[in-house]
Amino acid sequence: MTTEKISNWQPPDGLGRSSLRPVRLTIAGRFMAGLVVAFVIGAPALGAFLVNRGRHESSERALLREQGVGTTAEITRVWRTRDEDQRYMTEYRFSVEGREFTGRTPVPRKIWSGLAVGASLPVRYLPGRPHINHPAAWERTAMSELVGIFVPFTLLLPAALLAFQLRKQMRLLSEGRAAPGTVTSLRRTDKGTIVKYEFQLLSGAAVKGRSQGGRKSPGVGSQICVLYDPDNPRRNTAYPLPFVRLDR
């Protein structure tokens, strides 16, 4: 970037004012804000659901162990799932007081290899509730209550990161100082283009930065506008921003 270019550089319309700039979310920003709200509201609800499910499954397992009645079922299906966590499955049917009931459950690999359609399978069921049943050769699995505590955090973490990005962009657009910058390199990734640039402070010092580029990222050597925090120039981003814009 030449001295002449710097002296003639003018910030984009609306960025030259020294007072706080009014800003608003873009469509993408509103979508992100909606995700944050959904994650924050949904995480506790999902956690409560998973904890209750784990307790329910543990209770049914204990009831089958303590009160279950034995009978013989007929295997009607044996298969393996094709998802990443491949599971070995079986399906069976049995009769209680003239009524037919069915069951479907994952099977330990060693036991599954010995199962065949039409073969007999000992099962246990709850008296009065035969729909609660399980093969007698192994215990029914139950979800750990810890899953209900851990899983919500997997939603709250991205919510916190998104909220941080929104707040950062809103603050930079509202309070940041505009400066001329030059693109120094571009790097394509699965998530988009990383734009690296160098910009100049009022003191004349050069600072390097990087930000996520859009679909049409400027080429290397292109002049851009950079917004930076006057108190900490390392907090910076290329303008325009994807999630916020000036409220004119």
Please state whether the predicted TM-score (pTM) of the whole model is above 0.95: no
Burial class (CB in 10 A: 0-12, 13-18, 19+), 21: middle
**Can you list the alpha helix ranges (DSSP code H) found in the chain?**
3-8, 27-67, 109-112, 145-175
Is residue 68 within 8 Å of 123, Cβ to Cβ? no
Distance of alpha carbon 21 from alpha carbon 248, whole angstroms: 9
Confidence at residue 4, expressed as pLDDT on a 0 to 100 scale: 47
Confidence at residue 3, expressed as pLDDT on a 0 to 100 scale: 43
Distance of alpha carbon 94 from alpha carbon 46, whole angstroms: 34
Burial class (CB in 10 A: 0-12, 13-18, 19+), 99: exposed
What are the mean pLDDT values of the chain's consecutive 10-residue runs (248 residues total)?
A: 61 82 94 95 93 91 95 97 88 96 95 96 96 94 83 91 95 94 89 89 90 79 92 93 90
Confidence at residue 215, expressed as pLDDT on a 0 to 100 scale: 66
Mean pLDDT score of the chain: 90
Q: In Å, what is the CA distance from 232 to each residue of 166, 168, 176, 190?
A: 18, 13, 10, 30
> 180: closest CA among 132, 141, 130, 218?
218
Q: In Å, what is the CA distance from 240 to each residue of 39, 119, 124, 175?
A: 27, 68, 65, 14
Confidence at residue 248, expressed as pLDDT on a 0 to 100 scale: 75
Q: What is the pLDDT of residues 125-174, one digit of tens each?
A: 999 999 999 999 999 888 887 888 888 888 899 999 999 999 999 999 99
Confidence at residue 245, expressed as pLDDT on a 0 to 100 scale: 94
Confidence at residue 213, expressed as pLDDT on a 0 to 100 scale: 76
